[in-house]
Amino acid sequence: MKNKLILFFSLILTLNLFASTDTKFYNINSMYGISMRKITSISKDDKGFIWGASKMGILRVTEGDCRIYQLPYIATDIISVNLTYSYSGLYAYTNNGQLFRYDKLHDQFTLFTSLREYIDDKYLNVHKIIASDNGCLWIACTQGLYKLKNDTLAIAVETGNQVRNILFSDNESLIYTTDAEIKQINIKTKKTCVIYNNSKAGMDMNISSLLYDKKNNRLWIGTFSSGLHFIDLETKKQHKIAIPNFPRQPILALEANTDSTYLVGIDGKGVWELNREGDAVLNVYKENIDNPSSL
């Protein structure tokens, strides 16, 4: 539903999508003579445009051009700006609940709603929003998991309980995380089930990113300080990947780039390409000061 690319806190984009060991990276700032910093989210739409979000604005990149769009903020106490995309549209949202939609006709972003005002909570913090193809937005925030459709906002589950991460597992189900548990919800029936309980397992994974592997029915979990894990959704058992000396820095992005490999974006450690079993490192892409085309 959302076609994502690896994101980092500097705007660097790979144009051949890790196709070989001769991978080259290109700095968009240098290519187009701009200065965009701290990109926190990247999406690709159905037209092939690459969109990047920062507090400075929304960047759109094509093969030969780029453009920066300003967001019409109504409050400036912003820590981060993120993007969510589906065939229903492109949205930008801030951690303080401002939600913007890209208007194709007028080629601009307009304010869609202020979630703090809508929910009447001036301290509301939005962690993540994902969009479905039918125009429904699912919102993970400090007040629970909300559903926004046809200008109607309703609590789905976890009233008053902080929801931090969400992703689609299929067209009818979402996986989401609270501080204590990982759960799955059927978005039609609202029935939930617990996938993993931190307290029962005796481990707080402090989750930073998620990826669902439909083929193997696994939930991959990136953490802030304890590496990369996966949960077998058939057995509900949690496993830590068996790669010696795998970095313990925050895992900021997880992406399946082929049918047999994953990309893992690690803060300060580059991009690691792993096999689908998670037990072998195929490539590591890092900055090399002697190679201007390195990450």
- Domain check: are 78 and 223 in the same one? no
My answer on whether 213 and 175 are in the same domain is: no
Q: What's the CATH code of the domain at 30?
A: 2.130.10.10
Claim to verify: residue 215 and residue 292 sit in the same structural domain:
yes
Are residue 223 and residue 125 in the same domain, yes or no? no
Torsion of CA 42, 44, 45, 46, to 10 degrees: -170
User: What torsion do the CA atoms of 143, 234, 238, 199 make, to the nearest 10 degrees?
Assistant: 50
pLDDT at 2: 35
Q: How many CB atoms lie within 10 A of CB 22?
A: 7
Are 125 and 77 in contact by the 8 Å Cβ rule? The answer is: no
Question: Cβ of 166: how many Cβ atoms within 10 Å?
Answer: 19
Domain termination residue (choose one: 203, 222, 246) = 203
Q: Does residue 133 share a domain with residue 248?
A: no
Range of the domain at 17: 1-203
25-27 and 12-14 strand pairing: antiparallel
User: Taking the model in full, what pTM does it have?
Assistant: 0.88
- Spatial distance between the Cα atoms of 25 and 10, rounded to a whole number of angstroms: 12
214 and 136 within one domain? no
Mean pLDDT per 10-residue section of the chain, whose length is 295 residues: 36 39 75 84 91 94 90 95 94 98 97 95 96 93 94 89 94 92 92 86 77 94 93 91 93 91 93 93 87 73
Which residue is associated with the tokens 């769009």?
Answer: 69
Same domain, 187 and 244: no
**SS3 label, residue 198:** helix
Whole-number pLDDT of residue 201:
60
Same domain, 17 and 119: yes
Tell whether 166 and 274 lie within a shared domain.
no
Q: Same domain, yes or no, for 63 and 76?
A: yes
15 and 44 inside one domain: yes
Residue at token pair 């996966």: 230
Structural domain ending residue among the three candidates 161, 177, 203: 203
Residues 121 and 54 in one domain: yes
Distance CA 75, CA 124 (A): 13
Number of domains in the chain: 2
Q: What is the 3-state secondary structure (H, E, C) of 20-79?
A: CCCCCEEEHHHHHCCCCECCCEEEECCCCCEEEEECCEEEEECCCCEEEECCCCCCCCCC
Residues in Cβ contact with 167 at an 8 Å cutoff, skipping those fewer than 6 apart: 130, 174, 175, 176, 210, 211, 212
**Domain containing residue 216: CATH number:** 2.40.10
**Any long-range contacts for 253-261 (C-beta under 8 Å, 24+ apart)?**
253/4, 253/6, 253/7, 253/8, 253/209, 253/222, 254/209, 254/210, 254/211, 254/220, 254/222, 255/4, 255/5, 255/6, 255/211, 256/211, 256/213, 257/17, 257/18, 259/215
User: Which pLDDT score is estimated for 18?
Assistant: 40
Last residue of a domain, one of 180, 203, 226: 203
